[in-house]
Amino acid sequence: MSPRLVRGADDAAGRGPDTPIEITVDGVPVAGVAGQTVGGVLLAAGRRAWREGPSGAPRGIFCGIGVCFDCLVTVNGDRDVRACRRRARDGDVVTTQSRAGDR
């Protein structure tokens, strides 16, 4: 996935105008565009990692298609949501997760 955001007016697929949304990630507002996944919003905002694995290593988007579990976040209280598969909705509250120390 690319962290670059393509404006709707410039999209070769003919997407309509962008509809801005805002989600909150760990208490910080993050701007996005309707239709983006939670992972897409985070990448476009410049975040490449938002979870820690058991070793403490940073994790974010790895496969980008929902096969792996590297991009897990909590969305509106639901744990273990794959950020690459979940469409962001205006007002979503996202909390990052950590498995550091689990073995």
Q: CA-CA distance, 4 to 37, in Å (whole number)?
A: 14
Report, as an integer, the average pLDDT of 8-30: 86
The backbone torsions φ and ψ at residue 52, rounded to the nearest 5 degrees and listed phi first, read -120, 135
**Calpha distance 10→66 (Å, rounded):** 27
Average pLDDT, the chain: 87
Mean pLDDT of 54-66: 88
Fold (topology level) of 20-98 = Ubiquitin-like (UB roll) (3.10.20)
Backbone angles phi, psi at 40, to 5 degrees: -65, -40
Q: What is the pLDDT of residues 72-100, one digit of tens each?
A: 999 999 999 999 999 999 999 999 988 77
Q: Where are the domains of the chain?
A: 20-98
Its pTM stands at 0.81
